[in-house]
Structure 1
Amino acid sequence: MKVAFFVSEEIGCVGSRNADMGFFEDARFVIEPDRRGYEDLIINISYTSLCSDEFLKDIGFNAFGYQEEFGMMTDVLELKEKGLKVSCLNLSCGYYEPHTDHEFTVKKDLLNCLGLVEHIIENCLSVYPHENLESGYYHRYFEIDAETEIWDILSWDPEMSVEDLYEMYQTNYPRLKKEDFERIYNEYHEFNDEEELWKDTNLKGAVNTKRLWL
């Protein structure tokens, strides 16, 4: 078993971007436990597939409460972009509120992740080849995906200020500057204000039409 600790993932996967890919030539698969929460098993990031169907079938992730999800920038994505030829995953490993002063870990969730990783190592003894046929998608479509994901973040917490948005998520999107966050934030709220106005106008129109019929 090999272990890699990459530096500066939070500011753009600096370590993994400069990795010696020869290190992974005899790997059966690659697992990265580095995602918030307790149940996400990341199989695809920004148009980049991470693993084969055979690998997913063999690892038995359902028994550990995991489910397939799409993810964001992280080290295994960078490795795939550099030509990693085996299946890989990014797993939730029990930490919450990342990149804030309130980040914490739930030991039960961390140990469950460890249990899944041990299960895969002990039971998946084959090599699980997988090559991404559309390499480079992440870098070509990053800006579009980032804006979509930030809109999703704001929809979960519409009361978030632009300052909080930038402070909490700037490390997730290292290619975006503060003014990009401000632009996306303003576009999101302008769109939703217009949508609410449209709904309000149509509701009033429906009420007036009903009155005419009455």
Structure 2
Amino acid sequence: METIGKIRGVYAGKAVPFTRPGTFSAIDKQPVAGPVAVGTEGLQCDEQGDRRVHGGPDKAVHVYAWPNYAHWRTQFPDNRRFDAAPAFGENLSVEGVDETTVCLGDQWRVGTVLFEVSQGRQPCWKLNDRFGIADMARRVQDSLLAGWYLRVLEPGELQAGDDIRLVQRPHGEWSVARVLAVIRDRQCEPALMQELLELGLPASWQRLFARRLEAGQVEDWQSRLGEGS
């Protein structure tokens, strides 16, 4: 197995009331020291604030590349949120891999856990409130620096400092960034949608690309991105 990166930090959080009435979030995660148990629903000590759109087997663990923070510090040098992970609510802060080098379906061995890259993150309005930047979710979507999710194929333990070892890569032509660009760029070409639907994507992305294929139209992002709210 090829070593492709390293776990820089491991983070978990509890769901607490968030910025808007009736909303909850576990985005304010804290470092976890030592070995952490990971099951099919994610880190044993982690929670999600809105299970309709976060968590579950296909979004068990959220990963964000530490080098991405340099981009955001350049954009917002006075915003201290970008000084340290896990500002984006990530469970794993990683080095050596990013959205351009990680592909859908990649299988990783980290510690004793076997992961599979399931999908990229589609940012929502909670990032706007988290960073105090009205269009942060849109900026993250446009930049393709959104992070990605892992499903757990074999539960186990991991910890900060563990290597990321690539077990297999069945879809090397489909990086996370490439798929996120298809979404961002409002692409609906039938052949492209059909190819994506054959990748074994999670149900939510299957529905997204199936609707684009059938209707030739792009889904409405306004509510998710917090635009006009």
Q: TM-score if structure 1 supplies the norm length?
A: 0.30
More strand by share: 2
More helix by share: 1
Q: TM-score if structure 2 supplies the norm length?
A: 0.28
